Amino acid sequence: MDRNSVGIVTPNKFTFGSVEEPMVLESGRTLGPVDIMYETYGEPNADRSNAILICHALSGDHHAAGYHSPHDPNTGWWDSMIGPGKGFDTRKYWVICSNIIAGCKGSTGPLSINPQTGQPYGLDFPVVTIGDMVEAQKRLLDHLQIKRLYSIAGGSMGGFQVLEWALRYPDMVRSAICIASAARLSAQAIAFNTIGRNAITRDPEWREGKYSDKGPEKGLATARMVGHITYLSEMLLDAKFGRRLQSASRLSYNFTTEFAIESYLNHKGSAFTQRFDANSYLYITKAMDYFDISRSHGPLKAAFANVTARCLFVSYSSDWLFPTSQTKEMVRALLSNGKPVSFIEINSPYGHDAFLIEEEKLTHILTGFLTGVAKEVAA
């Protein structure tokens, strides 16, 4: 039992928009009504100025901390960072995390019923962008009567949302924490997403997105396996698995799962199909591919000119999916605008996944940064 857990939490659902008054998306298409699942940890202060929005990555959801029942074996995906005395200290901050639109954990997405047809949206769901995800979060914050976020934080695609918030609503973001992220997805990252999507759509069980029950489990598992390799460093794979055989000392000379790394990837792929929707995977990776600050807000220096948030950028030395060079590009753009910006590259062997693993290193940095934001407010 983690004494610093936020304990049992209950997800909430917020609904906005309707068929008649839908949300207008960046594509020009519309969506409504829109459900947003969210959880909160800690308590709001009197003027709700202590709110911190946590933005999740590709496979995350609104359940960022605590557990859902007394015997729940799983805690939220960032439980190590959110709780009393943790990096996002719930004794001081009111922490909120919502499931993105296009997700599959209760927020409106391809699994939801299309009010026009009475059937699940499937591929009728409109393509959404990181900006659309942020707009939906904005509606949630309005509903929660939050005028200005004390901070906003996220890693990977969560970092995309952090950046989009800081650019779109500078007056609402007091500080921003962008972890293991970038101003745009690289060609290589788009390539990996392309393979994941192809694996899904080439699975005959996908049925043009109109699957029921199991769906394209094999394709989704392959997509997840590709993703997993990109989340881990070569160094870590060598240290953790190397060329170790899973359960034998001799080579099998057949095509059974044989190396420990094969077994690990197969397990990760299969497990993912139990908790994630294949169509959601298509939409979310597409939103990631589309993210490009330069396309939506102009060249980086100009784009960051209006940012008022105090920014913290964190990268990890062995992250090759979102390498440090991409973080530095943003730091340079903010510096060239004379903005206060903090940047640290954390030495870690864990690759991109380090932001979910290296809790101790990140905790020290977050605690200091968030305290500094408070001082600035007091000044």
Active site residues: 156, 319, 352
Q: Is 243 in the site for a second copy (CB under 8 A)?
A: yes
Q: Write down the least CB distance from residue 288 to a second copy, Å.
A: 12
Residue 153 or 288: the one with the smaller Cβ distance to a second copy is 288
Figure out which of the listed residues 95, 152, 173, 282 binds a second copy, where binding follows CB under 8 A.
Answer: 282
Q: Is 267 in the site for a second copy (CB under 8 A)?
A: no
Phi-psi group of 171: left, alpha or beta (phi > 0 → left; psi -120 to 50 → alpha; rest → beta): alpha
Q: Is 268 in the site for a second copy (CB under 8 A)?
A: no
The amino acid that residue 146 corresponds to is I
Residue 260 or 365: the one with the smaller Cβ distance to a second copy is 260
Q: Write down the least CB distance from residue 113 to a second copy, Å.
A: 21
Q: Write down the least CB distance from residue 242 to a second copy, Å.
A: 6
CA distance 326 to 134: 22
- Beta carbons within 10 angstroms of residue 92's beta carbon: 18
Q: Is 292 in the site for a second copy (CB under 8 A)?
A: yes
CA distance 313 to 180: 8
Residue 112 or 285: the one with the smaller Cβ distance to a second copy is 285
Figure out which of the listed residues 184, 297, 310, 352 binds a second copy, where binding follows CB under 8 A.
Answer: 184
Are the C-beta atoms of residues 72 and 36 closer than 8 Å to each other? no
Tokens standing for 96?
Answer: 């909120």
Q: Which residues pair with 53 in a beta bridge?
A: 96, 152
Contact characters 200-229, a second copy, x per CB under 8 A: -xxxx-------------xx-xx--xx--x
Q: Give the Cα-Cα-Cα angle 193, 196, 197 (nearest 5 degrees).
A: 90
Residue 106 or 349: the one with the smaller Cβ distance to a second copy is 349
Q: Is 188 in the site for a second copy (CB under 8 A)?
A: yes
Stretch that binds a second copy, among 13-21, 123-131, 333-341, 369-377 (CB under 8 A): 123-131
CA distance 270 to 43: 38
3-class DSSP assignment, residue 332: helix
Q: Is 123 in the site for a second copy (CB under 8 A)?
A: yes
The torsion defined by the Cα of 160, 103, 295 and 153, in degrees rounded to 10, comes to: -10
Q: What share of the chain is helix, strand, coil (3-state, %, to 5)?
A: 40, 15, 40
Backbone angles phi, psi at 55, to 5 degrees: -110, 130
Q: Give the torsion sign (CA, 118, 120, 122, 125).
A: positive
| Residue bearing tokens 């969506």 | 31
Residue 4 or 263: the one with the smaller Cβ distance to a second copy is 263
Q: Write down the least CB distance from residue 37 to a second copy, Å.
A: 24
First to last CA, the chain: 39
Residue 185 or 341: the one with the smaller Cβ distance to a second copy is 185
Are the C-beta atoms of residues 206 and 278 closer than 8 Å to each other? yes
Residue 49 or 201: the one with the smaller Cβ distance to a second copy is 201
Nearest to 351 by CA among 314, 309, 317: 317
Q: Is 289 in the site for a second copy (CB under 8 A)?
A: yes
In the chain, DSSP finds a helix count (H) and a strand count (E) of: 12, 12
Q: Is 259 in the site for a second copy (CB under 8 A)?
A: yes
Q: Is 14 in the site for a second copy (CB under 8 A)?
A: no
Figure out which of the listed residues 11, 29, 306, 337 binds a second copy, where binding follows CB under 8 A.
Answer: 29
Stretch that binds a second copy, among 6-14, 86-94, 156-164, 189-197 (CB under 8 A): 189-197
Binding site for a second copy (CB under 8 A): 26-29, 123, 126-127, 184-188, 190-192, 194-195, 197-199, 201-204, 218-219, 221-222, 225-226, 229, 234, 237-238, 240-243, 251, 253-255, 259, 261-262, 265-266, 269, 282, 286, 289-290, 292, 295, 320, 323
